Amino acid sequence: MPLQFGIWSPVCGGWLRVIDHEANLSTPDLVKLAVEADALGYDFYYIPEHYLNAVHGPSYDVADAWITSALASLNTKRIKIVAAVQPGFKLPAVIAKLSANIQNQLSQGRFALSGIAGWWKLEVESYGDIWLPHSERYARLEEYIDVIKGLWTVEDFNYDGKYYTINGGILTDKPTPTPAIFIAGESERAINLAASKGDYLFINADAPEKTAALVEKVKRLASDRYQRQIKVAMSAFAIVGEDTAKAEARLESIYRAADQQQIQYFQEQIDPNVVAHNKLDISQTIEANLGLSAQLVGDRATIIQRLQEYEAIGIDLIILKFESMLEDTIRFHKLVIAEYLQQKVLISS
């Protein structure tokens, strides 16, 4: 299967920590973006779950991931809708039921679930959860996934774990097909959880030579230790221009507009044990998921060559962010993705 493409749902507003950032988008706007991405031919619409604004800070609002997921599923036809969830805010059995309802009644089999261990203590404690050390957050996420998958697939489900207990769990309307599971993270705990129980490991952007080792590691672990296959999805931020100089000039203007106070705030908020966020310079943290590290900046040919490099090292899916989500979602597909896929067709024929 050729490299697939998705976009992030901008539940926090614009993805860049810059002065005069793109305003918060309403839930109807997020659904309109999903509809546009569906019509263009994107493969995935990824909706992160946050209760505080993880891009611009807690003084800004954030759209609800699950309301957005339900409405996006109902209003699209082909694109896969991925809803993220952080344990502690909703019980796993509740998520199992919500997911099944969306899968069977709204998306007609196009729903997927992304498990997030969490990284922001303020968000966790502000909404009544208990802040756990990094390793325990992944231990809880593992039980969370166990319960969800159990309820999805087993009649009269029972579970006795450290964090969750289920006695005679009932989920009458089991999802068909069983939704794919994304596991987000790059730590040893995240890699092992994805290899053993996930369908995708979802990582932040990095250079191809660094990403290659991580991709090889999780795919080999899944195959050798757990006798299963796994895919790797990568987050990335892209800027395509008529020529590379114009794209790079646009990037430089972004750096000049950096909100240093906002960037410093999040550098202080991030749990230092979160592996992906230990790369803390402005060229990376100006975008919340380090997407500029992918270096998808340039003209069409430059970016297509870069995408080919990621496909060659085993990346299966790239989930994109842009400076202006609606405008650039359209522009990137027409200029880059359509040409990229056409080249794949010509090569295969």
Task: Name the nearest CA neighbour of 318 among 228, 233, 197.
Answer: 233
- Residue 37 is part of a domain; what is its CATH number? 3.20.20.30
| Res 280 pLDDT > 70 | no
Q: Output DSSP code: residue 23.
A: P
| Residue 114 pLDDT level (bands cut at 50, 70, 90) | very high
What is the number of structural domains in the chain? 1
Tell me the average pLDDT across 43-72: 97
What are the Cα distances from residue 266, in Å, to 69, 128, 202, 334?
A: 27, 21, 21, 34
pLDDT for the residue 281: 62
3-state DSSP assignment of residue 231: strand
Tell me the average pLDDT across 326-348: 90
Q: Output DSSP code: residue 60.
A: S
Task: Name the nearest CA neighbour of 254 among 5, 20, 52, 1.
Answer: 20
Q: What is the pLDDT of residues 257-275, one digit of tens each?
A: 999 999 989 888 887 776 5
Structure tokens at 99: 């997911």
Residue-number span of the structural domain to which 266 is assigned: 4-348
